[in-house]
Amino acid sequence: MALSLSQSIVVGLADFWSRKVRSLITIFGIILGIMSIIVVLALVNGVKEMSMEWMMQSGGLSKINIRGNWEYEDRKADKSLSLKQVNYIKDVCPEAVAFNPQSNIWAKLSYGSKKEQQLIVGAYPDYQIAETWTTQQGRFITDTDIRNKSNVIVLGTTIKKSLFGNEDAIGKLVGMNGKKYQVVGVMKYRYMKNRWASEGQSDNAMEWKNKNSFIPLSTMLIKEKADDRIWDFSVTASSPETSVELKEKISNIILNFKRGKPLMRVTSNYEESNQSDDNFKMMTMIFFLVAAISLLVGGIVIMNIMLATIQERTREIGVRLSVGARRFDIFLQFLIQTVIITTIGGILGVVFGLSILELVGKFLQMKAVASEQMVLTAILVSVGIGLIFGIFPAVRASNLDPVEALRYE
């Protein structure tokens, strides 16, 4: 019976321990390689997750955005749609889930002695679907409001707070541009962590939304603006996949409105996130190539050191053979030793990598997402490197002739 695997591991560990310094120097390359894999993967994952979070905050992957194309050279050309055109699109696109044309003004809201200059959004009821944002109290703008061009207003939490404090706002009248608007609802508090917030700045990246107030789009266009131009318009498809087709359709309709001139930009969140996914894939690929090369170099270094080790231990191999070690025992001894070295390197790489991520997280305010799967992969990779680069030295060791090996000085 040959040496069992567990015995080989014990022998390998003893070998590692009896040559601590050399073993540590040997695995330096592997430590660095694995460490950088962990760090970069976690950062890439973090950025991905952050951009996904942002995407979800801005209406999700099914959303299609229609805006003026400010890159188009003709400055005077009309880069907006009329309400009629928007409604036409709505009529011919029944497959869409939500239509969200907006028209905004800056206006001063007043209640009693309190005054607040903020952005007022003229919106359709669909705004709630398109932005996945609803009221926490009262109601949002309804179809009846649109039809009646009612003077109703829905307040963001921050503006509600600064006008009313803790007082109930529902049913109260606020003043705007000399007209009275009745408060019918208060929006939910909107929050996304702002990692780069400086001292005294809000840590809520969505705080500006909490300062918005909403009135019916019809009221906005007719009573406040006296024109029917829509500068900001989004459509929500039933799914991210169908949004691509819908985007094409809307894009063609608008191109027709504009007589073939690309005055408007129609984009889909889905395609843009795919685009940035592709960029990430590219980055990840390039990075993996670099990591693979560094691990390859690390592997070759280990292979050479193992070859030197075997040379040095020729006599020991001769002794082992003379007392009955089989070639396979010798092969296993050195293969496992290499694997132990690279695995310890991998584990140290993971540990250092995770520590670096913690520092990066603290000081750079970067989101880093290190998954268990990543850690496992990193360790498997280091085991694999040991197996691959350990084979040649192990074969060389096991092919030694006992007598020759014993004569080696």
Partner 1 sequence: MDIIKTISLTKDYNMGKVTVNALKGLDFSIKKGEFVAIMGPSGSGKSTLMHILGCLDTPTNGEYHLDDTQVSKFKKRELAAIRNDKIGFIFQTFNLLPHLNVLKNVELPLMYAGLSARKRKKIALEVLDSVGLGDRTKHKPGELSGGQRQRVAIARAIVNNPAIILADEPTGNLDSQSGGDILEIFNTLHSQGHTVVMVTHDRLVAEKADRIITIKDGLIENGTLT
| Among the listed residues 22, 195, 327, 396, the single contact to partner 1 using CB under 8 A | 327
Q: Does 1 bind partner 1 (CB under 8 A)?
A: yes
Q: Does 334 bind partner 1 (CB under 8 A)?
A: no
Q: Does 22 bind partner 1 (CB under 8 A)?
A: no
End-to-end CA distance of the chain: 31
Task: Return all residues near 342 (Cβ < 8 A) that are at least 6 apart.
Answer: 27, 30, 299, 302, 382, 383, 385, 386, 389, 390
Contact 156, 211 (CB under 8 A): yes
In terms of DSSP bridges, do strands 213-216 and 114-123 run parallel, antiparallel, or are they unpaired?
parallel
Euclidean distance between CA atoms 23 and 319, whole angstroms: 23
- Give the single-character DSSP code of 225: I
Under rule CB under 8 A, how many of the chain's residues touch partner 1?
23
- From residue 209 to residue 238, what is the string marking binding to partner 1 with x (rule CB under 8 A)? ------------------------------
Among the listed ranges 95-103, 136-144, 383-391, 396-404, the one in contact with partner 1 (CB under 8 A) is 396-404
| Among the listed residues 274, 326, 352, 388, the single contact to partner 1 using CB under 8 A | 326
- Burial class, 382, CB count within 10 angstroms (exposed 0-12 / middle 13-18 / buried 19+): buried
Q: 18-35 burial by CB neighbour count: b if 16+ within 10 A, else e? A: ebeeebeebbebbbbbbb
Shortest distance (Å) from residue 29 CB to partner 1: 25
| Among the listed residues 33, 101, 298, 318, the single contact to partner 1 using CB under 8 A | 318
Q: Does 397 bind partner 1 (CB under 8 A)?
A: no
Quick one: 246 or 330, whose CB is closer to partner 1? 330
| Among the listed residues 191, 316, 352, 395, the single contact to partner 1 using CB under 8 A | 316
Quick one: 144 or 311, whose CB is closer to partner 1? 311
- Tokens at 24, concatenated: 């540590």
- Tokens at 147, concatenated: 């039809």
Which residues of the chain form contacts with partner 1 (CB under 8 A)?
1-4, 7, 18, 315-316, 318-327, 329, 401-403, 406
